[in-house]
Copies of this chain bind each other. A is one copy, B any other.
Amino acid sequence: MFVILSYDVKAARVGKARRLVKRYLRPVQRSVFEGFLSEGRLERLKKELRALLDTDEDSVRIYKLQNLQGAETEALGPVPAADSVVL
């Protein structure tokens, strides 16, 4: 399934959070990542995130798209080099 993950993470933890999420998903903005993940891999990522983050202060949002029909991405401004491969 296609996953979009965004986070608001306090500065003290954001470096670690970024390194963690990058092992699963491609960074497309400072706090947005995307890519294809199995349910199992996503559960693992969420478990690792829960262990790292303070969920009183940090917020993570995960959009799971099983069906990419009718889905489209647009970008204004700079995009990562590999951007054109997605959706």
Contact = CB atoms under 8 A, between A and B. Distances in A.
A76 B64 contact: no
Interface in A1-30: 1, 4, 6-8, 28-30
A29 B7 contact: yes
What size tier do the contact residues of chain A reach? 35 or more
Nearest to A87: B63
Given A8-B30, A29-B7, A71 B75 contact: no
Given A8-B29, A64-B72, A65-B65, 20 more contacts: A4-B4, A6-B29, A8-B30, A32-B32, A46-B74, A46-B76, A50-B76, A53-B76, A53-B77, A55-B78, A57-B78, A59-B79, A60-B76, A61-B74, A61-B79, A63-B87, A64-B71, A66-B70, A66-B71, A67-B70
